[in-house]
Structure 1
């Protein structure tokens, strides 16, 4: 049973007045109930609470096909869980609904969202949620702050279209976001989005651990490396190479498909340089921005190789799957791929089109100008 006691909790957290900037309480030492875990050195691997933390990238709400506004009842439940970053390496994550990124929420411009944040009795920390799609103090963070065993709610109207991050915004918000508390809300424009064959959803973030990446055992959070913005891991969907072929992937598509990718960069500190190796963003929407007038074609950037996605922002990109291939989704700061765990893979299966790409070209079968 959840208790709603926002005023009492806000007083305990010191939320409000001069201590609050844009709905996020000042990071004052000794804030009750929200201490960043101390660095305790390497420990033995902990028992995991879940076998899959990484959100399924194909778990995307259906496109909206209606003209009239409606009301959505949305509940996000805090889950503080121990899971593997990679085999033999465990970490205590903070999540919405037990997954990273949190569930994708899809609404229409003009819709109303009635949002409840539930923080179960078993939690150790208070949490809340800040939506970048909201006109309102802290994006709703103050209204939704809930201690363990409590729930709080607010409602808002989605007045402007685009793809927007939501994230926890309690005093140690950088730690909470890093540990997994972020997701995306998509506000479709009044005329909707163009139809595509597949839609995928990914979230990038950093982990700042007190033990070297790959070293077996339980890793704690390291405030010093977070302050220095020097993470041991940079991940898509919470796990090392979560949706690569060597782990849970690849994601399957078909030659001829148009694939729309939604990506949210939780950060909390690093911009992403999001690139599909072997493909291009044929149409891309920077920072998740979408037009209000329905002219999607002229609004999009065309044939973009790499999209810069700042922390706390999103991107929407579309790929044409022209030939059979494996597309690698990477941050083109490539040491993050090789050393820090960021990679997803998307396979396209189907008929070869040698005029587009011929991996077995013998050097004699095509006509045309030579470049030497």
Structure 2
């Protein structure tokens, strides 16, 4: 069996949530433990993009609530390698749910609801014809944080997460698996489905109130490769945009609670790639070299469609709506990605420098966080791009 599991780097994490935070949240966060078998590349710290840093609002509110020091954002290169086999098999995917407080941006904290302690959840990779077994646990036993397991079912229900689940858009069956996977506190459930339709798909939580679970970060992507596999590329990246609804305005310091009122009004304060402001910038930027072919899997996990664009790049191949077997569109500048959908993009890095990934509804990029960096290294290409003196 193969699965999707993280390295066991989170065991023994000390309790970090303050008493004030516990009073606010009614529970403390669970730690993250091994559940994905591919190599992850986690880095602490919060390096920022130059463009965005210059535009951060100045706020003078309450100080940052104590929070987990582990990085909430999943790195863009944290995904399994391409499937390299000709036969079908059972693919086992181990997931657990974790509600934890982490930084949304410096001095701003938020309680995320996650699969495996990251936003987005693990990238799941299978081949058409595979049987995929999803194993979902609500919380993790033998965890460093104990308070979560001591809370009553009533407390969890009041907080809105007495159950978690998973709906995979790659599933042919009622609810995408969600009716079989309503997992209560401390429980684990499993189900299997046959991956029949190649494509790149979104998955998300589907427990009441479904929009709230998704808005708090419970989403990810699953790729079903065709039987013959995908064409070889040099780099692959995993990026998901989400909209977040905080009580305070963008950049307001301190702990920010989830605002269901803003969710219902469809008025997010943040539009974020991989769960955090500057999550894919600075030391965490996407990186490639001149001449390398790049493939990006880009999805929208939550509720508002994205106008995805890379400033200074043209998509050689765009597979819209996750339809990776359809003929691609060529030479595309910007693509709309519907809520709960995904695209596959391919292009070749030709000129070195820093490229910005944005939602081209540019207030979302400049003022609300939907901004990331792609760094291309290599020799200058003056025949393609150069300054001309007067």
TM range (shorter): 0.7 to 0.9
Question: Which residue in the other structure is 2:173 paired with?
Answer: 136
Shift of residue 56, structure 1, vs aligned partner:
0.9
Q: 1:88 aligns with which of 83, 102, 107?
A: 107
Structure 1 residue runs without a partner (length 5+): 1-36, 364-372
Structure 2: distance between partners of 1:117 and 1:57: 23
| Match status 1:347 vs 2:381 | no
Residue of structure 2 aligned with 1:218, choices 255, 259, 263: 255
- Name the residue aligned to 1:52: 71
Would you say the 8 A contact 1:43–1:219 is kept in 2?
A: no
Partner of 1:362: 389
Q: Is the 8 A contact 2:324 2:344 kept in 1?
A: no
- For these two proteins, the number of residue pairs brought into alignment is 314
CA distance in 2, matches of 1:48, 1:149: 23
- Corresponding residue of 1:320: 348
- The answer to whether residue 185 in structure 2 is matched with residue 148 in structure 1 is yes
**Residue matched to 2:228:** 191
1:272 to 306, 328, 331: 306
Deviation at 1:110, TM superposition (A): 0.5
2:87 to 61, 68, 85: 68
With normalisation by structure 1, the TM-score equals 0.82
Question: C-alpha displacement at 1:89, in angstroms?
Answer: 0.5
Asked whether the 8 Å contact 1:50–1:82 carries over to 2, the reply is no
Q: CA deviation at 1:180?
A: 0.6
Paired position in structure 2 for 1:177: 214
Aligned-pair CA distance for 1:212: 1.0
| TM-score, length-scaled by structure 2 | 0.78
Moved runs in structure 1, 4+ residues, more than 3 A? none
Shift of residue 128, structure 1, vs aligned partner: 0.1
Aligned Cα RMSD in Å? 1.6
Q: Does residue 1:255 correspond to 2:290, yes or no?
A: yes
Instruction: Tell me, in whole angstroms, the C-alpha distance in 2 between the residues paired with 1:335 and 1:344.
Output: 14
Rg larger in structure = 1
| CA shift for structure 1 position 356 | 0.9
Tell me the equivalent position of 2:271.
234
- Which of 306, 309, 318 aligns to 1:284? It is 318
DSSP-derived class of the 2:164 partner: coil
